[in-house]
Amino acid sequence: MKYYAEITHFDELVGQMRAELESRGLWDNTLFIVCSEQGTQFPFAKWTCYDNGLRTGLVMNWAGVTRPGAVSGELLSIADITPTLVEVAGGILPAGACDGQSFLKTLRGEQQTLHDSVFGAFTNCKIIGNRERIYPIRVIRDKSFSLIHNPNHESLTSNVTIDGALSMLRNPEQTGRGVAESWVTLSRKNPAAKPLARKLHHRPEFELYHLDKDPHELNNIIDNPEYQAVAEKLKKQLRAKLATLGDRDPIATEKALVQGKRKK
């Protein structure tokens, strides 16, 4: 019920914005963008770098330019929105002024490939739950593969949606009502469910998923010899990206964030 209430309210707000633009005679010359927040509040979605934690709904309308119902299969990043808007407005960004690239050609229905791969990151510290927990997650993905890096893999990850499950795993007598908690409850009765309940908080250093064959990212193929070349290529690209961002050591990055909070 909460979910349907939220999306209904969201749709109403979008409708109000459109009605306002139409009442002012601006709808036909306005690029209208609706962007959702990333991820649902389910395990392996929000607060992760799995596909369900990265993918964001992005719907755009520009009368006379975009084609109704058109869908782009290209890799786009939120960072691409700013340079797109600048180009739409007739501006020119200086080289290196923005991380993203304009996808104006894509909006016009023209063939355009912006990225061979896209980068994502999750910072676990200073959020609801344990504000001093250090568990960075970094990811790079192309159209077929996703490589996830968990630098602090020897520790435990958790967040507000799975904290209860972690508490239940630590205390066999405890019960819970959330989705993640239900997995722990099931794992107590069904041994086949234990690996998934464990994965809630225990992640390997690297995870590699073949998105074409395994869209739900259930089969980690990082140790599969068939995909070693793919894994090494993506690792190299990820390291290069982190270096350009000043994030060579994500654990150190997050420790600095926590220490910065303590100094205030």
The Cα–Cα gap between 238 and 145 comes to: 13
Q: pLDDT tens, 186-235?
A: 999 999 999 999 999 999 999 999 999 999 999 999 999 999 999 999 99
Cα dihedral angle (148, 149, 152, 153), rounded to 10 degrees? 60
pTM for the structure as a whole: 0.89
Q: Where does CATH 3.30.1120.10 sit in the chain?
A: 120-162+201-263
- Report, at the CATH architecture level, how domain 120-162+201-263 is classified: 2-Layer Sandwich (3.30)
Split at pLDDT 50, 70, 90, the class of 22 is: very high
Task: State the average pLDDT over residues 95-104.
Answer: 89
The Cα–Cα gap between 98 and 12 comes to: 33
Q: pLDDT tens, 33-71?
A: 998 887 777 899 988 999 999 988 899 999 999 999 999
Q: pLDDT tens, 111-166?
A: 998 999 999 999 887 777 677 789 999 999 999 999 999 999 999 999 888 999 99
